[in-house]
Amino acid sequence: MRDPDGLIARAGVRGDPNRDQHFLVDDRVLDRLPTYLTEIDADTSHLLEIGGGTGALTDRLLAIGDEVTVVERDRELAAFLREEFADEIDAGELTVIEGDALEVELPEFTASVSNLPYGVSSEIAFRLFPEKKPLVLMFQQEFAERMVAESDTSEYGRLSVSSQHYADIELVESIPKEAFSPPPAVQSAVIRAVPREPDYAVENEEFFLRFVKALFTQRRKTIRNGIRNTAHISGLEEPEAVVDAAEDDVLQKRAGAMAPADFAALAQLAWDVGEPDDR
């Protein structure tokens, strides 16, 4: 495997915290990341990496994948990847896409392993989740803990419900600051998301996620008041109709006590009787 410090030296770059650039340089972590796919026998025929940097993780993904596509928004780094991995590109094993991962057209892929830019990690994750492919993604520790949190815990929130709607999510490893160059201000963590269908049904997924978002903006209010106070977010034309139709024990809860299935049932009721503006 290519030495991460050697890659940085050959690229002639330094990580820039102001541009959300923290290069992962710990060989042990880099070597472990692909194993979180292989140990679940994930399909590695076409791997997607968001934020290739200088290619330390790219190199390791090439060792387990038939084909790798890396998306890198930094022009200089994208040019370096094309130079450093010229042989792999010529062999059809690697494709480098220069651009913003939130804007470029992503290829068909079978799984993704990525050290995400933390400033846009949430947006990228929720672009990847609907693809329903296994994901190994690195986030800030606090963000990862919120993704895997269960109801009735302080970390549980909109992110927990939305993430777990798409996949079984596990926090598989915490990463110290010293594993990066330059070290970020916070500790990091790796999650593995294995796609599955939820154990509940929602008629309109977009409304369900928007409804969850709305109620968590009022997480200290009861669900009754949350429904009434957030119609401008959820898009309900008739929030009182939802309050009238819902069970009283549900209306007395707060968002943090509602499991994803509870949100789904309430969202379906709101969809049926609350006249959402996109129905």
Encode pLDDT of 208-251 as tens digits.
999 999 999 999 999 999 999 999 999 999 999 999 999 999 99
| Average pLDDT of the residues in 47-73 | 97
The one-letter amino acid code at 23 reads F
What pTM value is reported for the model?
A: 0.94
- Rounded to 10°, the helix 141-148/158-166 angle is 70
Which pLDDT belongs to residue 118? Answer: 87
Q: Among 10-24, 54-68, 119-133, 197-211, where is mean pLDDT lowest?
A: 10-24
pLDDT in tens, 82-124: 999 999 999 999 999 999 999 999 999 999 999 998 889 999 9
Whole-number pLDDT of residue 218 = 96
For residue 194, is pLDDT > 90? Answer: yes
Of all residues in the chain, what percent carry a pLDDT higher than 70? Answer: 100
**Mean pLDDT for the stretch of residues 4-9:** 96
Q: What is the full DSSP assignment across 225-267?
A: HHHHHTHHHH-BS-HHHHHHHS-HHHHTSBGGG--HHHHHHHH
